[in-house]
């Protein structure tokens, strides 16, 4: 697919939104109630952001937000293929949906996201789940209004999956999940081809967005009341490759932090091989940029890192992490770790544990390796499950011990917190996050969602803090 132009294509899709709007209004009048929609998101922040865009189109069409799948007139599953058994979970949900469809004959089901880029999944849906109405992939999310219109005016299952694209179509409605924070895609796809990872195959080659458009999106979000943005990409540190204007990720980050109204900027995810000294310096010098870097380690063994195609060594990773700790005081470093990659020995796992001990991660997602069809590692000889479990337990207990010790280091300090919601266990309290990403529960004291406030971190409860007081709204000062 070539030759699309963002403005032209967005206008075309907006026309389809209008056409869908007329049909939804008719159906709503006939049924005597507003129609409602739900988008169920699996996986990463990129999917979360895509779901906000899909919800944006649906709400422009006249759908209201449904509270549950059972109540919805259209369900969209935005799928993820990174974790094991994702397909089984989806097929289970589709089984339940069949019963919902029998109750509500006009109900629609749409599937999108990374799983739809896998041929065997699409084949299975086509054969075994004919009642699924629309399937689309990661490269043509923007086409959702057109595909839905085709389904609303026809009878057959609509399948439109693109193998790849070099186009970016962004100028479509979006409905943010939170009024005060949002993600902004700065790039799509990945060129790294880590040997265990399916992402380059399902999300395509790396494409960076024009920095001016990203800044414009941040300004618009700020004008709408957003105070925290998260810049999203599979490997944000390689942002800018292929753009006509030479811009580094560090430069972009510092420009976003200048946007009026934005009080905090986060980003996700950093590849250790591309994290530059310039980026560390920009973070260190700019208080608006969160003191949190997610830096996936994956393994501490040089041999396994080579087989994973990660392009750094244990030594290089440790050096980088310690430099970050030295130059950005109070920074929190979190990570992803895979245990049980083909060929991994107990000695390799010792190396991983050694890195955890030396870097002292503030948190780490620890996963047992699971083969993803189509990746080089899936063809390698797989390890014995009991052996992997034993190593996984060793890694997990080290991660848990160290991250608990790390969390305690802010106890007794007063820190800036962005209020994100009500405490689920106590309606008289709020839940928020400090710049380092730790969660804090504290009394409401007349503050509002989206405010930055100073909170005294009185008691560390392991992975979160309980506080007795919050004082002084900092929003104006920060933004
Ligand atoms: S950097 Fe590696 S792990 Fe991350 S998305 Fe790209 S291929 Fe996957």
Q: Confirm if 295 and 334 have CB atoms less than 8 A apart.
A: yes
User: How remote is the CA of residue 191 from the centroid of ligand 1, in Å?
Assistant: 8
pLDDT in tens, 173-210: 788 889 999 999 999 999 999 999 988 988 888 999 99
d(C-alpha 313, C-alpha 300), whole Å: 8
Mutate to test the pocket of ligand 1, among 271, 275, 298, 337 (most ligand atoms within 8 A of CB): 271
- With pLDDT > 70 as the criterion, what percentage of the chain qualifies? 99
User: How remote is the CA of residue 275 from the centroid of ligand 1, in Å?
Assistant: 14
User: How remote is the CA of residue 299 from the centroid of ligand 1, in Å?
Assistant: 14
What local confidence, expressed as pLDDT, does residue 4 receive? 56
Confidence of residue 169 (pLDDT cuts 50, 70, 90): confident
What local confidence, expressed as pLDDT, does residue 1 receive? 41
Q: Ligand 1, residue 190: give the atom nearest the CA.
A: 6
User: Does 193 contact ligand 1 (Cβ within 6 A)?
Assistant: yes
Decide if domain 411-478 falls under CATH 2.40.50.140. Answer: yes
Cis status, amide bond into 128, omega within 30 of 0: no
Q: How large is the average pLDDT for residues 449-463?
A: 92
CATH of the domain spanning 181-409, picked from 3.80.30.20, 3.40.50.300, 2.60.40.790, 1.10.1040.50: 3.80.30.20
Q: How many CA atoms lie within 13 A of 115 on its CB side?
A: 27
d(C-alpha 297, C-alpha 313), whole Å: 10
For the record, the structure tokens of 307 come out as 């087989």
> What is the number of other CB atoms lying within 10 angstroms of the CB of residue 30?
9
d(C-alpha 114, C-alpha 82), whole Å: 8
Give, using CA atoms, the residue closest to atom 2 of ligand 1.
194
d(C-alpha 456, C-alpha 467), whole Å: 6
Confidence of residue 452 (pLDDT cuts 50, 70, 90): very high
User: Does 371 contact ligand 1 (Cβ within 6 A)?
Assistant: no
pLDDT in tens, 44-88: 888 888 999 999 999 999 999 999 999 999 999 999 887 767 778
User: Of residues 407 and 431, which shows the higher confidence score?
Assistant: 431
First to last CA, the chain: 41
Say if 181-409 and 411-478 have the same CATH topology.
no
Mutate to test the pocket of ligand 1, among 187, 194, 236 (most ligand atoms within 8 A of CB): 194
Q: Which long-range contacts (CB under 8 A, 24 or more apart) does 187-193 make?
A: 187/233, 187/234, 187/235, 187/236, 187/238, 187/239, 188/233, 189/234, 190/234, 190/235, 191/235, 191/238, 192/234, 192/235, 192/271, 192/309, 192/311, 193/309
Whether the per-residue pLDDT at 103 is higher than 50: the answer is yes
Q: Confirm if 208 and 251 have CB atoms less than 8 A apart.
A: no
d(C-alpha 328, C-alpha 228), whole Å: 20
Mean pLDDT score of the chain: 93
- Among 326, 303, 325, smallest CA distance to 314 is for 303
> What is the number of other CB atoms lying within 10 angstroms of the CB of residue 34?
13
pTM for the model stands at 0.86
Give, using CA atoms, the residue closest to atom 8 of ligand 1.
197
Confidence of residue 342 (pLDDT cuts 50, 70, 90): very high
User: Does 198 contact ligand 1 (Cβ within 6 A)?
Assistant: no
Q: How large is the average pLDDT for residues 93-102?
A: 92
Q: How large is the average pLDDT for residues 226-238?
A: 95
Q: Ligand 1, residue 271: give the atom nearest the CA.
A: 1
Mutate to test the pocket of ligand 1, among 188, 234, 298 (most ligand atoms within 8 A of CB): 234
Q: How large is the average pLDDT for residues 450-477?
A: 86
- Domain locations in the chain? 6-160, 181-409, 411-478
User: How remote is the CA of residue 296 from the centroid of ligand 1, in Å?
Assistant: 10
Whether the per-residue pLDDT at 2 is higher than 70: the answer is no
Q: Ligand 1, residue 200: give the atom nearest the CA.
A: 7
User: Does 271 contact ligand 1 (Cβ within 6 A)?
Assistant: yes
Q: Which residues pair with 384 in a beta bridge?
A: none
User: How remote is the CA of residue 90 from the centroid of ligand 1, in Å?
Assistant: 23
User: Does 235 contact ligand 1 (Cβ within 6 A)?
Assistant: yes
User: Does 372 contact ligand 1 (Cβ within 6 A)?
Assistant: no
User: Does 299 contact ligand 1 (Cβ within 6 A)?
Assistant: no
Whether the per-residue pLDDT at 6 is higher than 80: the answer is no
Mutate to test the pocket of ligand 1, among 81, 191, 199, 335 (most ligand atoms within 8 A of CB): 199
What local confidence, expressed as pLDDT, does residue 164 receive? 78
What local confidence, expressed as pLDDT, does residue 470 receive? 78
Q: Ligand 1, residue 269: give the atom nearest the CA.
A: 4
Q: Which residues pair with 265 in a beta bridge?
A: 229, 289
Decide if domain 6-160 falls under CATH 3.40.50.300. Answer: no
Q: Ligand 1, residue 298: give the atom nearest the CA.
A: 3
- Among 86, 97, 160, smallest CA distance to 131 is for 97
- 194-221 CB burial, b ≥16 within 10 A, e <16: bbbbbbbbbbbebbbbbbeebbebbeeb
d(C-alpha 355, C-alpha 361), whole Å: 9
Q: Confirm if 151 and 127 have CB atoms less than 8 A apart.
A: no
What local confidence, expressed as pLDDT, does residue 9 receive? 87
User: How remote is the CA of residue 393 from the centroid of ligand 1, in Å?
Assistant: 25
pLDDT in tens, 313-337: 999 999 999 999 999 999 999 999 9
């Amino acid at each position: 697919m070539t030759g699309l132009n963002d403005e032209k294509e967005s206008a075309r899709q907006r026309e389809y939104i209008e056409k869908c709007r007329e049909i939804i209004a008719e159906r709503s009048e006939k049924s005597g109630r507003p129609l409602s929609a739900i988008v169920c998101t699996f996986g990463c922040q990129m999917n979360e952001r895509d779901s906000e865009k899909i919800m944006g189109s649906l709400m422009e069409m006249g759908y209201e937000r449904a509270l549950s799948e059972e109540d919805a007139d259209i369900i969209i599953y935005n799928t993820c293929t990174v974790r094991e058994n994702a397909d089984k979970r989806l097929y289970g949900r589709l089984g339940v949906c069949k019963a919902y469809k029998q109750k509500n004959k006009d109900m629609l089901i749409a599937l999108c996201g990374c799983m739809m880029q896998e041929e065997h999944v699409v084949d299975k849906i086509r054969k075994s789940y004919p009642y699924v109405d629309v399937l689309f992939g990661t490269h043509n999310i923007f086409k959702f209004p057109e595909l839905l219109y085709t389904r609303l005016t026809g009878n057959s299952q609509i399948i439109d999956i693109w193998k790849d694209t070099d186009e970016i179509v962004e100028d479509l409605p979006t409905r943010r999940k939170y009024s005060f924070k949002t993600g902004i895609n700065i790039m799509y796809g990945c060129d790294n081809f880590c040997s265990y990872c399916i992402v380059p195959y399902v999300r395509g080659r790396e494409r960076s967005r024009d920095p001016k458009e990203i800044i414009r999106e941040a300004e618009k979000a700020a004008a709408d009341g957003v105070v925290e943005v998260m810049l999203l990409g599979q490997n944000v540190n390689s942002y800018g490759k292929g753009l006509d204007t030479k811009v580094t990720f560090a430069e972009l980050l510092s420009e976003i932090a200048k946007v009026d109204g934005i009080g905090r900027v986060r980003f996700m995810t950093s590849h250790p091989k591309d994290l530059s000294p310039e980026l560390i310096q920009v973070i260190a010098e700019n208080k608006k940029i969160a003191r949190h870097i997610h830096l996936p380690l994956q393994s501490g063994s040089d041999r396994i890192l080579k087989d994973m195609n990660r392009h750094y060594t244990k030594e290089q990773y440790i050096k980088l992490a310690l430099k970050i700790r030295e130059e950005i005081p109070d920074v929190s470093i979190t990570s992803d770790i895979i245990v049980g990659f083909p060929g991994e020995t107990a000695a390799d796992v010792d190396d991983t544990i050694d890195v955890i001990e030396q870097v002292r991660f503030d948190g780490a997602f620890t996963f047992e390796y699971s083969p993803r069809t189509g990746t080089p590692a899936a063809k390698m000889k797989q390890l014995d499950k009991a052996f992997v479990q034993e190593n996984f337990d060793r890694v997990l207990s080290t991660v848990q011990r160290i991250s608990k010790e790390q969390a305690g280091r802010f106890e007794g300090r007063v820190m800036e917190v962005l209020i994100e919601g009500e405490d689920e266990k106590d309606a008289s309290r709020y839940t928020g996050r400090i710049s380092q990403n730790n969660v804090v529960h504290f009394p409401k004291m007349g503050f509002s969602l989206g405010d930055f406030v100073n909170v005294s971190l009185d008691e560390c409860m392991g992975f979160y803090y309980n506080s007795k007081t919050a004082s002084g709204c900092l929003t104006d000062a920060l933004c």
